[in-house]
Amino acid sequence: MTGDKAAKTAIAGGATGLLTLRRILLVTGLLLSGAVTWMLLWTGDTYRNFAVETLNNSVGGTVNFFVRSRVAQDYADKVTPIVNEWSRLGSLVKSYQDNDQARMKAELNILSNASQVVQGELVLVETIAYDTDFNQLATSDANLGASVTDDPAVMDYLKTRDKADARKPVTYMWATPAGKPVFSTIVPVGGFRAVGFMEVITDPLPTLAGIGKVLGGNFRILGSDGNVLFESLEDGDASEGGEALAPTADSDAPAEAEAKPAEAAGGTHRATVDISVGNGRGGVWATATFDRDITDFYSQTDDLRTLSIEILVAVLLVGWIAGWILLRTTVFRNLRAFAGAMTSISNGDTNVRLPRVGSDEIGEMRKALVGLREAVRQAMILQNMVENTPTMTALITPEGELTYLNASAQTYVGGDARSVSGDFLKVGAEFQKRLSNPANLPFTEVVQTERDHLELLAAPVRDKDNVLLGTMLAWNVVTEREESRIAVTEMMAEVARVAQSVTEQSEGLLGLARDLTSQSENTVDQSGSALDVSREAASNTQNVATAVEELSSSIAEINRQATEAADVTNRARSEAEESQRNIVSLEKASSEIGSIIDLINDIAHRTKLLSLNATIEAERAGELGRGFAVVANEVKSLADQTASATGQIGDLTTAIQQEVQKAAHSISTVGDVIHQVNDIQSTITHSVDEQRRATSEISENVQRIASGAGSMDQMIRFVNDGAQSTGRSAHDLNTASRELSDMARNLSERMKEFSERMKLT
């Protein structure tokens, strides 16, 4: 590509963008300045809100501590002695002792006229009387309808105290169902020997007077309906009761405080905190609010934020000025120097000097520019090499436009890239179509034009992103080489045909040699197999003769043993018949024993009847027949024993008869088996005699077979020797044929390789 055309392409592709470096730095600086200012304002507001929230949270614990300190300690110390004094009043104790509930109620009502109540030292709400088991006996006319003993945990504790603890007063902070905080003091009635208990419920809120001034804010206690039950203001004024406020959510945690955001009204800022005062048992005694003036705190934070903004503006102004000076002296000056150097490099000046910079991003740019300068130098070297090479080279764009021809190509086509176009090599439309398709690249081809034979190389030219920039077409004139290649190719084809003919004839001869070798090998194998079979037959014949002789001896021995077995079976048959006769006699004897046992049983039965009659007669005779009765009893006893013994003998005899019958049946079966064995033995003796005669005939035939096997072995040896000689001759012929075939095949392959090389060159 020429320098002018490259410059035009660079200018066309390098449109100036909207976002320049100066604009980016300016926008970035403005955004950072705005972000820092916003962060400063946000941090100030967040810190102020956090400080107010922290202060409000600490107020919750402080108020809770002050309230419980005044009520649970100071107020309890004040009320307990008074209630103890009331519990020892004689009339009250007497009403307890008499269990007179009407008098109890009257005495409880009288306490509302006590001097401490009248003078305002105590605010009495209600008094309740209990027996020793804390069963309610009477209440005053106030009839509050609630008691601290309604709490099961409190009641369980009061009932389970030991005597020592029961003599001591206990105090509780609790709230009525309407949300009013009260204070209960429970004391024993009657002194040391308690006859019951009394609960005195009082209002402790007056003792909190002045707490608002102490804490520096307005303190209010609210009922469950939102009405103010008590308030202690920051200026020292306090009152009970008031207008309804917004209800607050109940809380289970007694010391928790919920802070409300500070509200501004007419330039005044106040912070309000909702507080749950605990009763000491994990519950809520009172719901309170506390608000105070935090206008001074807001003024101080506003002044601090204004000062911070002024300092930030000053710092940003100094930073902008310093940054602009530094950028102008360190960045923009170097960028202008880099721009001048790149302009010189684009004009071909690869010896231009680059400015010295540090190791930051500008330094990286200098390294990249050094690489660019070196790349341009290498590109110029390559351009000179391509321009001066004898290989003709052209560059074609993807659109098919010819943009470059080196010197040798211009000489061949007779003009430069601007003066020629289209099919400037006259290679045809089909080649131009292949050249325009990137999928076909790269490829090498030898084509014939009207003038010459050309060896063409087409290769793609791509950038680092693998984007196709154009197609390089290089060619050389190879007319003389192609004509020589054609002549050599024709000669090689003729030689190849001769080699193919030799190969075919050698392969036919090789086939005949293989057939002859195969047949001779089969003959050798078969004669060898026949020789092995003949030898094995002779050996088997000898083995058969030996086996026949051993069989004759075994048969003679079997004949002798069979004769002895026949004698033994005859004797066994005689013994079985004798045993059967003895069993029959034994069976008859056992039957006779049974008859005798029946006779003995009959005699014993009659003896038993006689002894019974004798006993009856002896009883009739009275004292004279007593001795005869003894004898009769003995006779009866003997008769019973005889009957028992004969019964056992009868059972044994029956068992013997059953076993004798089984034995008789078994012996009869044995006799039948012995008869069968005797018959089989006779058959075996006859068969063994026939086997002995057959064995003699087999022995004579085996001797004749052994004589014939020797003659056949000699004949097979002669055939085997002839087959082996034929096999050796066939093997030699096979080897010679294979060598001839290999030589012809190698010649053919060498001719093909030479032809391929000729095509490539």
% pLDDT > 90, the chain: 13
Which of 443, 477, 511 marks a domain boundary?
477
Residue 254 sits in a domain whose CATH number is 3.30.450.20
- Averaged pLDDT, 304-323: 85
Query: How many Å apart are CA 514 and CA 720, to the nearest integer?
Result: 20
Query: How many Å apart are CA 681 and CA 688, to the nearest integer?
Result: 11
Residue 512: per-residue pLDDT:
62
Q: What is the mean pLDDT of the chain?
A: 75
- Asked whether residue 111 carries a pLDDT value surpassing 70, the answer given is yes
Residue 248: per-residue pLDDT:
35
- Asked whether residue 190 carries a pLDDT value surpassing 90, the answer given is no
Residue 173: per-residue pLDDT:
94
Same domain for 694 and 607, yes or no, is yes
Instruction: Determine, yes or no, domain membership for 299.
Output: no
* pLDDT tens per residue across span 594-603: 676 676 677 6
- Helix, strand counts (H, E) of the chain: 16, 17
Residue 251: per-residue pLDDT:
35
Instruction: Determine, yes or no, domain membership for 360.
Output: no
Closest CA to 204 of 251, 242, 170, 172: 172
CB atoms within 10 A of CB 220: 21
How far apart, in Å, are the Cα atoms of 159 and each of 130, 244, 434?
A: 12, 40, 112
Query: How many Å apart are CA 440 and CA 452, to the nearest integer?
Result: 24
Same domain for 510 and 464, yes or no, is no
- Asked whether residue 648 carries a pLDDT value surpassing 80, the answer given is no
Instruction: Determine, yes or no, domain membership for 495.
Output: yes
Query: How many Å apart are CA 716 and CA 710, to the nearest integer?
Result: 10
Number of domains in the chain: 3
Which range among 240-244, 258-262, 503-507, 510-514 shows the weakest confidence by mean pLDDT?
240-244
Host H or E run for residue 174:
strand 170-175
Residue 688: per-residue pLDDT:
61
Same domain for 440 and 525, yes or no, is no
Q: Is 719 exposed, middle or buried, given 0-12, 13-18 or 19+ CB atoms closer than 10 A? A: middle
- Averaged pLDDT, 383-412: 80
Query: How many Å apart are CA 33 and CA 29, to the nearest integer?
Result: 6
- Asked whether residue 560 carries a pLDDT value surpassing 70, the answer given is yes
Which range among 378-382, 652-656, 719-723 shows the weakest confidence by mean pLDDT?
719-723
Same domain for 454 and 504, yes or no, is no
- Whether the Cβ atoms of residue 94 and residue 196 lie closer than 8 Å to each other: no
Instruction: Determine, yes or no, domain membership for 450.
Output: yes
Same domain for 435 and 459, yes or no, is yes
Residue 358: per-residue pLDDT:
65
DSSP reduced 3-state for 270: strand
Torsion sign (Cα): 114, 120, 124, 129: negative
Residue 333: per-residue pLDDT:
72
Residue 652 pLDDT class (50, 70, 90 cuts): low
Residue 129: per-residue pLDDT:
94
Q: What's this model's pTM, rounded to 2 decimal places?
A: 0.40
Domain range spanning residue 408? 389-477
% pLDDT > 70, the chain: 64
Q: Which residue type is seen at 172? A: Y
Which of 293, 324, 353 marks a domain boundary?
293
Query: How many Å apart are CA 600 and CA 643, to the nearest integer?
Result: 8
Query: How many Å apart are CA 183 and CA 201, to the nearest integer?
Result: 6
DSSP reduced 3-state for 196: strand
Residue 356: per-residue pLDDT:
73
* pLDDT tens per residue across span 46-101: 877 777 777 777 777 888 888 888 898 999 999 999 999 999 999 999 999 999 99
Residue 713 pLDDT class (50, 70, 90 cuts): low
Same domain for 501 and 465, yes or no, is no
Same domain for 468 and 494, yes or no, is no
Top mean-pLDDT range of 258-267, 290-299, 734-743: 290-299
**DSSP label of 208:** G
Beta pairing partners, 172? 184
How far apart, in Å, are the Cα atoms of 67 and each of 14, 251, 255, 285?
A: 81, 17, 11, 10
Residue 583 pLDDT class (50, 70, 90 cuts): low
Same domain for 499 and 412, yes or no, is no
- Asked whether residue 24 carries a pLDDT value surpassing 90, the answer given is no
DSSP string, 77-146: HHHHHHHHHHHT-HHHHHHHHTT-HHHHHHHHHHGGGSHHHHTTS--EEEEEEE-TT--EEEE-TT----
Query: How many Å apart are CA 560 and CA 691, to the nearest integer?
Result: 14
**DSSP label of 15:** P
* pLDDT tens per residue across span 504-514: 665 665 676 57
Residue 742 pLDDT class (50, 70, 90 cuts): confident
* Helix spans in 360-422 (H): 361-388, 407-413
CA dihedral 241, 244, 247, 248 (to 10 degrees): -50
Instruction: Determine, yes or no, domain membership for 694.
Output: yes
Which of the two residues, 388 and 195, has the higher pLDDT score?
A: 195
Residue 580: per-residue pLDDT:
67
Residue 701 pLDDT class (50, 70, 90 cuts): low
Same domain for 197 and 85, yes or no, is yes
- Averaged pLDDT, 402-424: 77
- Whether the Cβ atoms of residue 277 and residue 174 lie closer than 8 Å to each other: no
Same domain for 134 and 233, yes or no, is yes
How far apart, in Å, are the Cα atoms of 216 and each of 7, 56, 213, 298?
A: 84, 13, 5, 17
Same domain for 544 and 693, yes or no, is yes
- Whether the Cβ atoms of residue 291 and residue 257 lie closer than 8 Å to each other: no
Instruction: Determine, yes or no, domain membership for 332.
Output: no
Residue 638: per-residue pLDDT:
67
- Asked whether residue 254 carries a pLDDT value surpassing 50, the answer given is no
- Averaged pLDDT, 107-122: 90
Query: How many Å apart are CA 294 and CA 35, to the nearest integer?
Result: 30
Which range among 213-222, 232-241, 544-553, 742-751 shows the weakest confidence by mean pLDDT?
232-241
Same domain for 449 and 424, yes or no, is yes
Which of 243, 276, 293 marks a domain boundary?
293
Query: How many Å apart are CA 168 and CA 528, to the nearest integer?
Result: 132
Instruction: Determine, yes or no, domain membership for 3.
Output: no
- Asked whether residue 257 carries a pLDDT value surpassing 50, the answer given is no
Instruction: Determine, yes or no, domain membership for 727.
Output: yes
Residue 256: per-residue pLDDT:
44
CB atoms within 10 A of CB 726: 16
Query: How many Å apart are CA 236 and CA 222, to the nearest integer?
Result: 19
Which of the two residues, 484 and 328, has the higher pLDDT score?
A: 328
- Averaged pLDDT, 691-711: 65
